[in-house]
Structure 1
Amino acid sequence: MNQVSIVGQAFRLVRRELRSGLRGFGVFLACLFLGVFAISAIGSFSAAARSGLLADAGALLGGDLEIRLSQRPVSPEQRTFLSRQGQLSEVLELRTMAANLNNDKRALVELKAVDSSYPLYGTLPIEPSQLPAMALSHTGSTFGALVEQSFLQRLDIKIGEQLRVGEATFTIRGVLTAEPDRSLRAFHLGPRLLISRDALEASGLRQPGSLVTYRYRLKLADRDQAESLKLILQERFPDTGWRLRSWREAAPRVRFFLDRMETNLSLLGLCALLVGGLGVSGAVRGYLNGKLVHIATMKCLGASSRLIFTTYLLQILLLGTIGAGAGLLLGSSVPWLLTRIAGNALPVPLHPGFYPLTLLVSGSFGLLIALLFSLKELGIARRIPPAMLFRGYLENKRTGPGKKIWLAISICALILALIAILSSSDKQLAIWFIMGAGVCFVLFRLLSVAVIYLVHLLPRPKSPRLQLAQANINRPGAPAGGIIFSLGLGLTALVMIALVQTNLNDMVNDTIPEGAPTFFFLDIQPNQVAPLETLLAEYPDSRIDRSPTLRGRITAIAGIPVAEAQIASNVSWAVRGDRFLSYSAAMPTGTQLAAGNWWPRDYSGPPQLSLTSDLAEGFGVGIGDSLTVNILGREISAEIVNLRNVDWSSLNLNFALLFAPGVLENAPQTHLAAVHLPAETEDEAYQAVTERFANISVISTRDVLQNVSRTLNRIGSAFQGMAGIALLTGFLVLIGAVSADQHRRIHDAVIFKICGATRRDILLIFATEFTLLGIIAGLLSALIGSLAAFAILKGPLNVPFSLHPNVILLTLVVGIGLTLVLGLFGTWKALGGKPAGFLRSE
C-alpha cells in the first residue's frame, strides 16, 4: 500500500472516529488552548503596542524631533536656528509643591508648562470639553490650570477652586483625561499639573540652577528629515550637551519594557504550555486505552501499524489545530477587547490588528507541543501486537516507541527550542529558559521516580487503608509520577514568583525603619540653605544631610564615546540621560572606599572623580581612567581616583558621581537635603517648610516606597497571572492523569468491593493516596521554588532573600487540597463501578 492510499484511508478513519465527538480530549484541548492563548495574548498585545507607538510616535515624542536640556534653556542663536526648521514648541517640566487655598493641603506635583503651540501632534482631551488655550489663559488675577483626576483627590480640591504654586495663584478649569506626549513610566512622584509658559514665569519657580527640564519639539514639513537634522544640529552646536531624539526613537524605555515583558511573560506562557504537554500525553494515553479493542480489531483485519499510526497522528494534529486555533482566536482579540474596555486609560496606545508572525509563532508552539507529547504514546501503540492489545497493554511491560519516533521527538524539541529563541527579543534569556526548563523537567521526573521508589521502601503501615494507598502510589502504571511532575511544576512556578515578589516588597517596606530619611528636599536655592537649616534645627532630634547638586550626562568612558563603549546592562541606566551629581571636599559620612584614596580637603588640582564600584565594574574602568561628563553644556573630563561601595537600599544621601572641589562651585546649582525627623514632628515640619519655601519640593520617603511597592505589585500581578495559568494547566494535567488511569481504578474498586470494602473505605483509600501525593508535590515545589527564587534574587536582582513560611504553607495547603479534590473528582466513577458487569466482561 503506497503512502497516498494510506493517508487517504487514514482520513476516512479519522472522520469515522470523530463522529462520536471529542470525548476523552477535553484535557488535551484545554491544555493547548490555555498555553496558546497565553502566548498569543501577550504577543498580540505587545505587537499592537509597538504598532501604536510607531503610529503615534510624533504625539508621544511631542514632535518630529525633540531637543532636551536640563537646568538651562537653549541660547538665542540656537532658538533662532530651530525656529527656522519648522514649527517650534517649548515645554518645561519640574517638580514642585502645590497648596489648596481652601484647606491649605499641600502635595508634590509634576508641573508641565506649555506654550500656545502645544501639542504639535495629537489632542489634549479635557473635561469639561474646552480649548487648551482658553483653559490655561490668564483671567483676572489668576491663571488657568489643568490637572489629572488624582490631583483633585490628593489635594481635596474641585474644578473652579484655587490653588497656589510658588508665587502665583491658579484656578482649576478642567481635568486632563490623557496627555499625548506622556509615555508609560514605572512610577511618578506626584500628579500632573499643566499650566502655561507665562504662568510659570509668574510663579517665580524658574531660578538659576533650578531642576527644570527643557524640551523643544519641532514639527517638520517632512518628518523623514528628522535624522538628518539631528546630524546638522550635532555638527553646528557640538558642545551644547543636549539630548536629541527623533520620532523613530519615541518612548524607547516603553519599547524596552514591552520587549522584556513580552519575553518574560511569553516564556512563562511557554512553561504553561510545556506543563500542558503532560496533559496532552495523558489525554492521548487515556484515549488510546479506550481504543484498545478497536485498534486490535483493525490489526486483526489487516490494518498495518503505519495506517494505525497515521490515523491517530492525523487525529491528534486535527484536534491540536482546533485547540490551538481557539487559543489564537481569543488571544489575538485581546488588543481589541482592551481598547474597547479601557480606551484612553491604557498606559500605551494600542493599534489592534492581525499580526501573522505572532500568531504563527504561537500556533507553532501549540502544534509542536501536541506532537512532542503525543508521538511516544502513538509509537508505543503502533508497536504492540494485537494479542497484547486485547489484554490491555498497560497491564504488561510497555515497549518503547522505536528509534524513528525518538528521532521525531528530538526534532520537534529542537524546533520548539529554536522558535522560542529566535522569537525572543532577549536571546540569552530564552536560551537560559530552555536550559532551565529542560533541567527542571529532568529533575522533576527523576524526583518523582525517586519518591515513588522511596515510598516503596517505606515500612508497611498498620492501617489497611494506608497500606493500600501506599501500594497505589508505586504500583505499575500508577499516575503518581505524572501527578507529582505536573502539579509540582505548576506549584514551583507559583512559589518562585510569590517569593520573588514578596522579597522585593520586603526590600522596599523594610527600608523605612532602618534609619531612612523622612523627607528629601529638592531645589533648595543657595540663599535658602541657612534659613532652612535654622528652621529644621528647631525640631528636637532632627538631622539634615545636604549636598549641592547639578545634573550632567556621561558622554565618554575612558575616552571612548558612550555610543561606542561596552557597558554592562545592569548599569546602562547611568548613560541613558542626565544624572544627579555633586562635589565634596570631605569624604561623606559612612563612605566605604573600595579602591584608591580620598583627595585632600584643600585639593585644587585637575578635575578628579569618585565613582561607585558598580558603575566602575559595569563601565570596565578603574583607578587612573577618565570619565567625561557634560554639565550645563561644558565637557569635563575627570580622572577616577577612588571607588566607593554604596548601599542604595539605605536611601541615605549619596551620588554615583562625586567630584573633587575646584570644578563645579561656580556653576548654577541647587541643593538637595535628606532630613531625618521624629514621627511626631513630621507633619508640623512639612507644613512649616512648604509654607515658608514655596519653591522647595518635598518628597516623602514613605510615599516613594509605597509607590514603588504598588508598581512591583502591578508587575507581579501579571507574572502571577501567567504562573496561575501554569498552575491551572497543572491541575488539568492532574485530571487527565487520573482520567487516563480510570479503568485501572474501576478495576481496583471492583476488587475492593469483592473483598468486602464499602464505598466509604474505597473513598478513604483514594483520599489517602491523593493526600500523600499532594504533600509530596507541595514539598518538592516548595523546595525547588525557594531555591529558584533565591537564585533570582541573589543573582540578577542582587537583593536580600528571606524564606517566608506563610508562602510555603499556602503552597502545601493548595497542593494537598486541590490534589485531593481533583483526584477524587476524577475517580468518582470508580466508586460506582458494579462488580457483576465487570466480572461478566472478564
Structure 2
Amino acid sequence: MTAFLPRLKIALRLALREMRGGLGGFYIFLACIALGTGAIAVVNSVSLAITSAIASQGQEILAGDIRFELNNREANGKERAFLDSLGEISVSTGLRSMARKPDGSEQALVEVKAVDGAYPLYGTFVSEPAEPLGQLLSRDGETFGAVAAPLLLERLGLQVGDEILLGNTRLKLSGTITTEPDALSEGFGFAPRLLVSREALAASGLMANGSLVEHGYKVKLADPSQRAAVQARAMKEFPSAGWSIRVSDRAAPSLTENVDRFSQFLTLVGLTALIVGGVGVANAVRAFLDAKRTTIATFKCLGAPASVVTLIYLIQILALAAIGIVLGLIIGAISPFVALRFLEGTLPVPKELVFYPSALALAAVFGLLITFAFAILPLGHAREVPATALFREQSFDNTRLPSWPYLLAGGLALAALAALAIISADDRFIASVFLAAVAGAFVLLRLVAALIAAIAKRAPRVNSPALRLAIGNIHRPGALTPSVVLSLGLGLALLVTLALIDGNMRRQLNGRIMEQAPNFFFVDIQGAEREGFVDLLKQLSPQGTVTQVPMLRGRILAFNGQDVAQMNVPPAGRWVLRGDRGITYEETIPSNSTLTEGEWWPADYAGEPLVSFSAEEAGELGLKLGDTVTVNVLGRNITARIANFRKVEWESLSINFVMVFSPNTFRGAPHAWLATLSDPSATAQQEAAILRQVTNTFPTITSVRVKDAISIIDQLVGQLATAIRAAAAVALIASVLVLSGALAAGNRARTHDAVILKTLGGTRSMLMRAFSYEYMILGAATAVFALVAGGLSAWFVVSRIMRLPSTFLPDVAVMTLVISLVLTVGIGLAGTWRILGQKAAPVLREL
C-alpha cells in the first residue's frame, strides 16, 4: 500500500495534466455512457415516482384506509357490525351490465358502480356539471340520476339530460365523470363507467342470486396506522368470510406490480443499450490509446512502471466516464418530470417535484461497471507492449489476450454488473435469462464476425477491382467486421424480437383467436330464465352453437392447508391467486380440455369434493395430484382434492376455468349461468341484431361481444408495443453510436489505404464503390444474424411463454434488412467521404 499511494499520486497528476487537451475523440464514448445511464435512470425514476405516488396517495386511490371486498354476497349481520365498529364506512357495489336506450335501438356494456351518500371518504369526485354527487344521483319519481363516463354518451349518441335503461330501472344522465378518485383501485375495466346510487341498483333487478357482483366496504379509521392490525383481526375473527382486504398503502397492488415488471423490462433494455455502448467504450479506449502510443512509449522510456502508465489512462477514462454518467443522470433526473406530465390523469404521479437518488445511484453504478469492464482489456494490451514496439509499430497488437489480472478484473466487473442487475430485478429468473441471452449474443456475434471473415478470405477471385477490394477489407487484419457486426447485431436482434412478438400477438388477436372465439359471452343468466334465453338464441341464430355452464366465484385461500398469502409463489402463477376466480362444476370433462394426468370422476360421484386443475397453472404453482385446494365460495370454505390435471386452450377464448369441481361440491348452492354463442357465419349486422334483441328481452343478462373486447386488448397491446419499441430504439441508437465510433477509430488506417490506392491509380469512384460493397455485405450479414437470433428469441417468448403459435413475418425481415443496410452504408459512406479527399503528401510522409 505504501508503494502504491505515491504511484497513484504521480499517475493522478500526469493524468490531469494530459487531460487539459480536451475531450477530442471521446464524444461518442460520452454519448454511449450518457445514453445508457440516462435510459436506466429515467425508467427507474419514473417507476419509483409512480409507485411512491400510489403509496402516498393510497387513501385517495382506495377512497378509504382499508377496504373489505365480498363477491356475490353482502356482509352478514356479524360482519357488518364488525365493519361499522371500525369507523366511518362507505359501501359500494360493482358489476357489469348493459345500458340501453329507452327505444331499444342501441345498447352498450357498462361498468356499474353504485355508491352511498358517504362516498368518497377520501379524495374528491369531480363531475361536469360540478354539483354534489348526492344531488346528481337523486331520485325523481321512478327515475334515478346517473353520472357516466363521456365515452358512454359518445357510444350511444346521448347528451346530458337524456335517459337510459339499466336492467329494469330508468336513469337520467345528470352529468359526466371528470375525476373518480378510486378508479385505479377498482382495476382495469373493459367498458365505460356508469355511477348510480345503491337504491337505483337495487331497483334494477341486477343483483339476483349468483350474479357476479362485488360489494366493497371502505372504512375511514380513527387511527390509519392501525390498518395492518385491523386486517389481522378481521382475518382471525372471520376466517371463513372470504373477503379480500386491501389497505391504503397497498391501494393498487396489481398496478404497482405491473409498473414494477414493466420498469424491470425497460431497465433490462436500457442495460442492453449500455452494454452495447460498452463496445463503443472499448473501441474509443483502443483508439485513444493507439493515438497515445508515442506518449506511452515516452513514459516507459523515462522509467515509468507499467502500472503507473495503466493508472494514468485508467484515471482519464474513469474521469471521462464520470462526465458521461453525470450527463446521463441529469437526463434521468429531468426527464421523469416531462414523462409524468403526460402520465398525469392516467396514472398516479407525485404532487411535488422529487428526485430519486436510489434510481440515479443504480444507473451510475451500472455506468461505472460497464466502463471499467470494457476499458480494462485495451488497457491491458497497452501495459504489456514494450516501448520499442510502440515506436516501431502503428498500433497495438490485439490478436492475443492481455495477462490474467486484467482478464480477472474485467470478469469480476461483468459478474458484479450481472449480480446487480439480477438483485435489483423483481423477477430474478427473467433477469438472469435476459443477461444470459445478451452474453450468448455477444459470443455468437464474435463467431459470426469470424465466420464472415473466413468466408470472405476463401471467396473466389472476382473480376471487379472494387468488389475484390471490399472482400479483402472484410477479412484483413484490423478489419471493421467485428465492430460492425457486434455494434449493430444486438440492437437489430432486439428490434426483430420485439417486432415479431408484437406481430404474432396482433396476428393471433385479429386472426386465429378471432376465428376460434365465440361471437358472444352472456353472463348472469338466472336459472329461471335460462330455457327462454337459449330458445331466443336459437331463433336468432339457427346455425349457431350455444354452450352454457354454471358459474360461481371463489377465492383460493390455501394449498394443502397452507395459507397462500404466506407462500412464495412464482410470478407466472400469481394471477391465479389474485382476487376471485370463476369456477364451475361438470359431470364430464369439458369439450375444449384434454386430460393430461389423473382420472375424471364418474357421473354419479358422491364422495369427497374433487377438483380438476389446469395443468399449466398447477405446474406454475407447484401442485401435484392428491394435493388439496381450499376455496371460499359465498362465505364458505370448501376443501377439495385435486383429482386430475387438464390442458386448457386459453387462446380459444371459449368457456374455460382454472378449476372445475365435481358436481356434488356445490349441490344446492345459488349460482347463475354463463353461456357463449358461436356462429362463424354471422355478419356484423346480425350480431348487432342479436345483441339488441337479447338486451331488450333479458335486460338483466350481460352480453359481451367478443370482437369489441379483442379490439380493446389490441389497443392496449399497441400502446405497450409503442413504449417497448421506444425503449428498443435506445439500444439501436447506442448501436449506431458504436458503429460511428468504430468507423471513426478505423479512419486512420482507412486514410492510409485510400492514399496508397489513389497513388497507385485508384479513382475516388472506385474506392467509393469498394467501401459501399463492403458496408452492404456487412450490413446484409448482420441483418441475417438479427433475423435468426431475433426470430428464435421471439419464437421462444411467443410459443413457450405466451403459449401461442409463432409465425415468422416477412415484412419484419424486409424492415430489418433495410434498416441494417441504410445504417451501415449511410454511416460508413458518411465517415469515409472525408477520407477520400485527403491529400497524399502529408499522409505519405507519416508512413
**TM-score by structure 1 length?**
0.95
Q: Equivalent residues in 2 for 1:129-278 (5 A)? A: 129-139=130-140, 142-183=143-184, 187-278=188-279
Q: 1:530 and 1:607, CA in 2 relative to 1: closer, same or farther beyond 3 A?
A: same
CA distance in 2, matches of 1:272, 1:620: 36
Q: Is the 8 A contact 1:27 1:279 kept in 2?
A: yes
CA distance in 2, matches of 1:8, 1:564: 56
Identity %: 38
Higher mean alpha-carbon deviation, 798-807 vs 68-77, is at 798-807
Deviation of residue 761 (structure 1)?
1.0
Q: Is the 8 A contact 1:187 1:711 kept in 2?
A: no
Cα deviation, 1:68-100, whole Å, max 9, x if unaligned, reads: 111110013322221121011101110011124
Which residue is 2:612 aligned to?
Answer: 610
CA distance in 2, matches of 1:74, 1:397: 75
1:693 to 679, 694, 698: 698
Cα deviation, 1:354-409, whole Å, max 9, x if unaligned, reads: 22222111101111111211222233233334443344442767665433322322
1:588 to 587, 590, 593: 590
Deviation of residue 5 (structure 1)?
5.3
SS at match of 1:160: coil
Does structure 1 residue 574 correspond to structure 2 residue 576? yes
Which residue is 1:86 aligned to?
Answer: 87
Cα deviation, 1:309-339, whole Å, max 9, x if unaligned, reads: 3332222112111111111111122332233
CA distance in 1, matches of 2:3, 2:642: 77
Deviation of residue 175 (structure 1)?
2.9
Higher mean alpha-carbon deviation, 144-153 vs 753-762, is at 144-153
Q: 1:369 and 1:836, CA in 2 relative to 1: closer, same or farther beyond 3 A?
A: same
CA distance in 1, matches of 2:177, 2:114: 14
Q: Equivalent residues in 2 for 1:395-414 (5 A)? A: 400-414=401-415
Which runs of 5 or more residues in structure 2 are unaligned? none
CA distance in 2, matches of 1:607, 1:163: 45
Which residue is 1:798 aligned to?
Answer: 803
Q: Is the 8 A contact 2:614 2:646 kept in 1?
A: yes
Higher mean alpha-carbon deviation, 668-677 vs 496-505, is at 496-505
CA distance in 1, matches of 2:186, 2:466: 59
Q: Is the 8 A contact 1:35 1:269 kept in 2?
A: yes
Q: 1:342 and 1:641, CA in 2 relative to 1: closer, same or farther beyond 3 A?
A: closer
Q: Is the 8 A contact 1:187 1:707 kept in 2?
A: no
Deviation of residue 134 (structure 1)?
2.6
SS at match of 1:555: strand
Q: Return the letter of the residue paired with 1:825.
A: A
Deviation of residue 22 (structure 1)?
2.0
Cα deviation, 1:132-178, whole Å, max 9, x if unaligned, reads: 22332234653332222322332222333332222222233333233
CA distance in 1, matches of 2:49, 2:432: 26
Higher mean alpha-carbon deviation, 427-436 vs 619-628, is at 619-628
1:754 to 737, 759, 776: 759
Does structure 1 residue 27 correspond to structure 2 residue 19? no
Q: Is the 8 A contact 1:546 1:672 kept in 2?
A: yes
CA distance in 2, matches of 1:134, 1:286: 75
Deviation of residue 125 (structure 1)?
2.7
Q: Return the letter of the residue paired with 1:576.
A: R
Cα deviation, 1:747-801, whole Å, max 9, x if unaligned, reads: 1110111121221111111000000100111111111111122222333332221
Which residue is 2:672 aligned to?
Answer: 670
Which residue is 1:77 aligned to?
Answer: 78
Q: 1:397 and 1:318, CA in 2 relative to 1: closer, same or farther beyond 3 A?
A: closer
Deviation of residue 12 (structure 1)?
4.6
Does structure 1 residue 523 correspond to structure 2 residue 524? yes
CA distance in 2, matches of 1:404, 1:600: 70
CA distance in 1, matches of 2:378, 2:186: 49
CA distance in 2, matches of 1:619, 1:386: 64
CA distance in 1, matches of 2:293, 2:779: 31
**C-alpha RMSD of the superposition:** 2.5
CA distance in 2, matches of 1:559, 1:8: 66
Q: Is the 8 A contact 2:55 2:250 kept in 1?
A: no
Deviation of residue 4 (structure 1)?
5.1
CA distance in 2, matches of 1:569, 1:233: 27
Higher mean alpha-carbon deviation, 267-276 vs 118-127, is at 118-127
Q: Equivalent residues in 2 for 1:116-515 (5 A)? A: 116-139=117-140, 142-183=143-184, 187-300=188-301, 304-346=305-347, 352-394=353-395, 400-515=401-516
CA distance in 1, matches of 2:659, 2:183: 29
Which residue is 2:663 aligned to?
Answer: 661
Q: Is the 8 A contact 1:177 1:344 kept in 2?
A: no
Deviation of residue 6 (structure 1)?
4.6
Cα deviation, 1:597-632, whole Å, max 9, x if unaligned, reads: 444434444433333323443444455443322110
CA distance in 2, matches of 1:95, 1:789: 36
CA distance in 2, matches of 1:425, 1:245: 21
Higher mean alpha-carbon deviation, 377-386 vs 780-789, is at 377-386
CA distance in 1, matches of 2:802, 2:571: 12
Q: 1:308 and 1:608, CA in 2 relative to 1: closer, same or farther beyond 3 A?
A: closer
Which residue is 1:813 aligned to?
Answer: 818
CA distance in 1, matches of 2:300, 2:24: 23
Does structure 1 residue 679 correspond to structure 2 residue 675? no
Which residue is 1:563 aligned to?
Answer: 565
Q: Return the letter of the residue paired with 1:556.
A: A
Which residue is 1:48 aligned to?
Answer: 49
Q: Return the letter of the residue paired with 2:831.
A: G
Q: Is the 8 A contact 2:94 2:114 kept in 1?
A: yes
Q: Return the letter of the residue paired with 2:764.
A: R
Deviation of residue 187 (structure 1)?
4.8
SS at match of 2:172: strand
Q: Is the 8 A contact 2:149 2:194 kept in 1?
A: yes
Q: Return the letter of the residue paired with 1:164.
A: L
Does structure 1 residue 717 correspond to structure 2 residue 699? no
Does structure 1 residue 777 correspond to structure 2 residue 782? yes
SS at match of 2:516: coil
Q: Return the letter of the residue paired with 1:183.
A: L
CA distance in 1, matches of 2:731, 2:186: 29
Q: Is the 8 A contact 2:50 2:347 kept in 1?
A: no
Higher mean alpha-carbon deviation, 180-189 vs 417-426, is at 180-189
CA distance in 1, matches of 2:232, 2:635: 17
Q: Is the 8 A contact 1:42 1:265 kept in 2?
A: yes
Q: Return the letter of the residue paired with 1:723.
A: A
CA distance in 2, matches of 1:214, 1:69: 5
Q: 1:303 and 1:548, CA in 2 relative to 1: closer, same or farther beyond 3 A?
A: same
CA distance in 2, matches of 1:382, 1:112: 72
Cα deviation, 1:442-466, whole Å, max 9, x if unaligned, reads: 2211221222122111212221111
Q: Return the letter of the residue paired with 1:45.
A: V
Q: 1:684 and 1:307, CA in 2 relative to 1: closer, same or farther beyond 3 A?
A: same
Does structure 1 residue 552 correspond to structure 2 residue 554? yes
SS at match of 2:233: helix
Q: 1:375 and 1:164, CA in 2 relative to 1: closer, same or farther beyond 3 A?
A: same
Q: Return the letter of the residue paired with 2:576.
A: A
Cα deviation, 1:276-309, whole Å, max 9, x if unaligned, reads: 0011111122223333344445555565544443
Higher mean alpha-carbon deviation, 742-751 vs 142-151, is at 142-151
Deviation of residue 18 (structure 1)?
3.9
Higher mean alpha-carbon deviation, 734-743 vs 785-794, is at 785-794
SS at match of 1:827: helix
CA distance in 1, matches of 2:382, 2:610: 76
Does structure 1 residue 638 correspond to structure 2 residue 640? yes
Q: 1:100 and 1:822, CA in 2 relative to 1: closer, same or farther beyond 3 A?
A: farther
Deviation of residue 675 (structure 1)?
0.8
CA distance in 1, matches of 2:380, 2:621: 55
Deviation of residue 207 (structure 1)?
1.8
CA distance in 2, matches of 1:438, 1:317: 24
Q: 1:103 and 1:212, CA in 2 relative to 1: closer, same or farther beyond 3 A?
A: closer
SS at match of 1:394: coil
